[in-house]
Chain A
Amino acid sequence: MMEPKTQPPVERPPSAETFLPSSRVRTIMKSSMDTGLITNEVLFMMTKCTELFVRHLAGAAYTEAFHQRPGETLKYEHLSQLVNKSKNLEFLLQIVPEKIRVHEFKEMLRLNRSAGSDDDEESESGSESDE
């Protein structure tokens, strides 16, 4: 697994202005379990860093595919390729999976079935004992 160069986020002057709606960001934050109070400052930070992330993800996927060549079209595959390569995007593997064709999927199932007879324990480890 190679590590793509983490390029600096797109240059822009620091600003207290946000583009994404902070009410929506608040809803998203609340959807995560036991988020306590959300101060305005934290909401601002979260909105800003989500914006940075959008720019980063788009920019890095484009750069990975086309370098700085202008005029190309960023497609889904470029994103899933980047997600597959980058350690810090691992959390997106299920969100932006690589697309496969039906016959490839069938092949995968077949291989799984023939090899998977000995490892059929579904380990869903969600045990948190403290708190």
Chain B
Amino acid sequence: MVERIEDLNLPNAVIGRLIKEALPESASVSKEARAAIARAASVFAIFVTSSSTALAHKQNHKTITAKDILQTLTELDFESFVPSLTQDLEVYRKMVKDKKESKASKKDSSTTENANAIATAAAEVAAE
């Protein structure tokens, strides 16, 4: 839930950095322009979210998927975002998968370690 309207603001510092990245060398941004871009970004997020939700509902889905967002962006005339976003998604999915796998293998090794410890303990007990 949104308690205060400021909860919808995006952090100035990050916005400033993103803007700088998009501008040519030594260009600067007025405070007012940065504030307007930050506001626009929040509204963009809400706009894309509600459009994606509508799209998902139309297909009788309750939750939005990555695909809904990509399709919405195309419908809203931001198809130029789709290729790089698709690539980011691939990298993200790979990262999540790798994380899961490394977690799983860690768990595996820890359980075998445990089993080993128990086995040695049992052997020690038996030897006594």
Contacts and interface: CB of A to CB of B under 8 A. Distances in A.
A125 interface: no
A55 B30 CA distance: 15
Nearest to B30: A75
A125 B69 CA distance: 26
A76 interface: yes
Contacts of B17: 19
B50 A74 contact: no
B24 A62 contact: yes
A62 B44 contact: no
B43 A92 contact: yes
A49 B73 contact: yes
Interface string A67-78: 011111111101
Nearest to B81: A52
B1 interface: yes
Contacts of A52: 81, 84-85
Nearest to A29: B49
Contact of A32 (B23, B53, B65): B53
A66 B14 CA distance: 24
Nearest to B19: A58
B65 to A, nearest CB: 7
B80 interface: yes
B63 interface: yes
Interface string B19-63: 101111111111011001111111111111110010011000011
Nearest to B64: A42
A33 interface: yes
A120 B39 CA distance: 31
A41 interface: yes
Contacts of B94: 16
Contacts of B47: 91
A88 B69 CA distance: 16
Contact of B90 (A9, A14, A33): A14
25 contacts: A10-B21, A16-B94, A27-B7, A32-B46, A32-B53, A34-B53, A36-B63, A41-B89, A42-B65, A45-B89, A46-B48, A52-B85, A53-B41, A54-B19, A54-B22, A54-B37, A58-B18, A62-B27, A70-B25, A71-B25, A72-B28, A79-B40, A83-B40, A88-B77, A91-B44
Interface of A: 6-10, 12, 14-16, 19-21, 24-25, 27-42, 44-46, 48-59, 61-62, 66, 68-76, 78-80, 83, 87-88, 91-92, 95-96, 131
